[in-house]
């Protein structure tokens, strides 16, 4: 990896006024969304957090289309309880079956999405399983505490606790603490960047790579995608506002540097980073802005905006072609970082 790359698999992000951006969905992405809606998928900003957690996800829609067939990919999984910042956290440990007896495998810590409010280890099984299989790595997927029960910055504190546990227990995990990476989707992408920044500042083990999937990295709702993709599904602008309303104790927290990553002056020294954005997603502009900010601070970046797909597309690789391409991009760059 020798140069900064900023790519876009899209002709333009600027639409004619009033254009329906959801009409630009790829056929395979539309297929999953249609099933999601038929299962009862709906805008979560219209319901409570409890109801939102019971609402179908795109992953569940894909599984139903595939007749609930789970793809183990030659990867074994063990459930664990690990220490969090204040209480134990649920975690899943993924190891390629063929390499289960080997020592010093690379390690990846994975954080799921859900706006710090939704998501869990079962609904987000596909991504860590693919990472373990295709990176020949031990993958730790950690469940952090969520809002509205636990407000900001509880999830960030739990994320750091999970990172510390993984590094300190690398030997028992049969992992190599010199070859570690962080991957996060949406809110999980935010957590991954914050963990990397703290590891850099504390002089501890710094990840070799960051994989950020449609990350939440800013709090400026005037960015273009918040306007252009306000009505996108399954995540629209109102959805992001709904998340923050439950996560934060007050509006002043929106300026916290842990949330507003794109405006931080201290991004230098972060590891090589892959950023995956969806073209039809209100988070698109801040993901692209983070790529630019990292670039200005001298960080190697490979950023791609995938046309024809929405938020939460990354784990749909068994049906959605762009998800397969995006997974390949992230996995290729992580493997190169591991050497």
| Structure-block tokens of residue 282 | 């209100």
**Model confidence at 17, in pLDDT bands (50, 70, 90)?**
very low
Beta-carbon contacts of residue 189 (< 8 Å; ≥ 6 apart): 111, 113, 212, 213, 214, 215, 216, 217
The pLDDT tens digits for 236-263 are 999 999 999 999 999 999 999 999 999 9
Spatial contact of 220 and 290, defined as CB atoms under 8 Å apart: no
Residue with token string 């992953």: 59
At residue 55 the predicted structure's pLDDT band, cuts being 50, 70 and 90, is very high
Where is pLDDT greater, at 228 or 9? 228
| Domain spans of the chain, in order of start | 5-11+34-338
| pTM for this entry | 0.94
What integer pLDDT is reported at residue 72 of this predicted model? 77
Mean pLDDT throughout 3-26? 54
Q: Element (H or E) spanning 284, and its range? A: helix 284-296
**R_g (Cα) of the chain, nearest Å:** 18
Q: What is the pLDDT of residues 175-186, one digit of tens each?
A: 999 999 999 999
Answer whether 97's CB lies under 8 Å from 73's CB: no
- Mean per-residue pLDDT over the chain, rounded: 93
Least trusted range by pLDDT, from 10-14, 65-69, 229-233, 278-282: 10-14
CA angle 114, 118, 123 (to 5 degrees): 85
| Beta pairing class for 88-96 and 138-142 | antiparallel
Q: Is domain 5-11+34-338 annotated with CATH 3.50.50.60? A: no
Structure confidence by residue, pLDDT tens digits, 207-238: 999 999 999 999 999 999 999 999 999 999 99
pLDDT at 20 over 90: no
What tokens does 176 get?
Answer: 């190599």
List of residues 6+ apart from 102 with CB closer than 8 A: 174
Per-residue pLDDT band at 69 (split at 50, 70, 90): low
C-alpha to C-alpha distance for 263 and 265, rounded to whole angstroms: 6
- Would the pLDDT of 157 be above 50? yes
Contact in structure between 73 and 133 (CB atoms under 8 Å):
yes
- 272, pLDDT greater than 70: yes
> Over 50: is that where the pLDDT of 3 sits?
no
């Amino acid at each position: 990896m020798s140069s900064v790359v900023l790519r876009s698999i899209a002709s333009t992000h600027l639409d004619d006024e009033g254009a329906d951006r959801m009409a630009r969905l790829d056929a395979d992405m539309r297929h999953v969304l249609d099933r999601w809606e038929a299962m009862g998928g709906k805008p979560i900003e219209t319901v409570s957090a409890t109801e939102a957690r019971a609402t179908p996800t795109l992953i569940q829609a894909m599984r139903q289309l595939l007749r609930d067939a789970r793809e183990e990919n030659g990867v074994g999984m063990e459930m664990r309880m690990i220490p969090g910042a204040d209480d134990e956290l649920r975690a899943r440990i993924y190891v390629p079956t063929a390499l289960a007896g080997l020592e010093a495998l690379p390690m990846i810590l994975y954080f799921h999405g859900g706006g710090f409010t939704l998501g869990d280890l079962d609904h987000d099984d596909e991504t860590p399983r693919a990472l373990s299989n295709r990176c020949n790595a031990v993958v730790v997927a950690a469940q952090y505490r969520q809002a509205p029960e636990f407000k900001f910055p509880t999830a960030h504190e739990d994320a750091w606790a999970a990172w510390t546990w993984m590094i300190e227990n690398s030997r028992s995990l049969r992992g190599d603490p010199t070859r570690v990476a962080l991957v996060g989707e949406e809110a999980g992408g935010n957590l991954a960047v914050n963990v990397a920044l703290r590891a850099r500042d504390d002089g501890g083990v710094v990840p070799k790579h960051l994989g950020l999937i449609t990350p939440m990295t800013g709090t400026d709702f005037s960015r273009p995608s918040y306007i252009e993709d306000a009505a996108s599904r399954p995540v629209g602008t109102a959805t992001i506002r709904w998340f923050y309303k439950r996560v934060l104790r007050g509006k002043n927290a929106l300026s916290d540097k842990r949330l507003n990553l794109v405006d931080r002056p201290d991004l230098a020294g972060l590891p090589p980073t892959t950023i995956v954005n969806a073209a039809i997603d209100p988070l698109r502009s801040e993901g692209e802005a983070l790529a630019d900010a990292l670039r200005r601070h001298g960080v190697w970046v490979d950023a791609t905006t995938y046309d024809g797909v929405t938020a939460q597309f990354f784990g749909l690789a068994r049906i959605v072609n762009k998800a397969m391409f995006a997974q390949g991009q992230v996995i290729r760059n992580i493997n190169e970082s591991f050497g």
